[in-house]
Amino acid sequence: IETYKAMSMLGFMQARSMAAALNDLDAQLTTLMGAMRSGAGTAAEETLHALLDVSVALEALTAETAYRFAATGAYEAIVYERISALREARFMGRQGFGEFMLRRYAPAMRTVKSTETRLQTIAARALRAADLLRTRVDVERSAQNQAILASMDRRADLQLRLQHTVEGLSVVAISYYAVSLVGYLLYPLAEPLGVSKGPPLSLCR
């Protein structure tokens, strides 16, 4: 029994050693989710990167502890089976070996289970928060892209109008110079041909 108990206690030691890191990651996640709710502070993409960093750290902790916590559960089951097989009974009201050992052993195993559950819960929260924020970032990017496209459309429309205006002015200018050229050519012939040298032709002198 003591051998299996010692093996299962390795999980308890690992749970205690990772408590500080888990508390820190939980605090970071709470802060980031608060920033998400308020919509203030850093940009959504920066918050998303921070959330992903927390998720990666949590996944690393999960990978590091998965085997040990699973082994602890298996050894714990063996310990309880062996103690149950002793079929101890109280003698003169005194505490038996199994009861004595479990009084200290059971809280340690509950600590392992609660740490494992807490790790899984925090990791799930981080993933959900990252998914929600990723959706917000995608929506914001889509809105920005639409605004850019609308701006490009307005610019293209303005350029088209300017082009039409320039073309119209060009036609007017060409027409004016064409009329002036004809008038310049006809001006010397106006008197022999009996054409009046009115203002249109007089401008061409």
Residue 89 bridge partners (DSSP): none
Would you state the structure tokens that stand for residue 116, as one six-digit string?
């494992």
Label residue 184 by pLDDT band (50, 70, 90). low
Instruction: Specify the pLDDT at position 102.
Output: 73
pLDDT tens readout for residues 81-131? 887 776 655 555 565 666 667 788 889 999 999 999 999 999 999 998 888
The more confidently predicted of residues 101 and 78 is 78
pLDDT tens readout for residues 27-58? 999 988 888 877 654 577 788 888 889 999 99
Using an 8 Å Cβ cutoff, are 10 and 110 in contact? no
In percent, the amount of the chain with pLDDT more than 70 equals 79
Look up tokens 């299996």; give the residue: 4
On whether the pTM is more than 0.85, the answer is no
Would you state the structure tokens that stand for residue 74, as one six-digit string?
């298996």
pLDDT tens readout for residues 8-23? 899 999 999 999 999 9
Look up tokens 């008038």; give the residue: 183
Instruction: Specify the pLDDT at position 92.
Output: 57
Angle separating helix axes 2-17 and 44-86, nearest 10 degrees: 160
